[in-house]
């Protein structure tokens, strides 16, 4: 197995491997979070949390939902997104992260 095939296998596919190297265009990452950023009822900590998700996606291309419960995300609230958002918003965030991952997998 050559190195590219091995890296693709370890990354769960060539699309995810390439996305992890190249990251995600900031505009695309921001667009993915439009539902959150358009919510006029968000407070400053919630907006900063979503902007941090956008930054992570821009740098890494995809994001495991488990990372939302680690530093630096838990620096906003010890319970991660569950301490900042309603369950419906947390579910929406998880769906967005899965969608971003799916678009890389399809590549």
Q: What pLDDT digit, counting tens, does each position of 58-80 carry? A: 999 999 999 999 999 999 999 99
Containing domain of residue 101, as a range? 3-105
pLDDT for res 23: 81
pLDDT for res 103: 84
**What string of pLDDT tens digits covers the 107 residues of the chain?**
565 566 555 545 666 767 677 788 899 999 999 988 888 899 999 999 999 999 999 999 999 999 999 999 999 999 999 999 999 999 999 999 999 998 887 55
Domain count of the fold of the chain = 1
pLDDT for res 33: 94
| pTM of the model as a whole | 0.82
Q: What is the DSSP string of the chain?
A: --HHHHHHHHTTSHHHHHHHHH---HHHHHHHTHHHHT-TT--HHHHHHHHHHHHHHHHHS---GGGGGSTTGGGT-TTGGGGTS-HHHHHHHHHHHHHHHHHHHT-
């Amino acid at each position: 197995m050559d190195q590219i095939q091995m890296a693709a296998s370890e990354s769960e596919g060539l699309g995810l491997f390439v996305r992890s190297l190249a990251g995600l265009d900031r505009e695309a990452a921001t667009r993915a979070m439009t539902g959150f950023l358009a919510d006029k009822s968000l407070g400053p900590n919630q907006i900063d949390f979503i902007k941090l998700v956008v930054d992570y996606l821009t740098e890494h291309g995809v994001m495991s939902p488990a990372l939302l419960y680690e530093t630096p995300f838990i620096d906003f609230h010890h319970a991660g997104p569950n301490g900042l958002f309603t369950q419906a918003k947390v579910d929406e965030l998880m769906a967005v992260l899965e969608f971003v991952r799916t678009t890389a997998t399809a590549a």
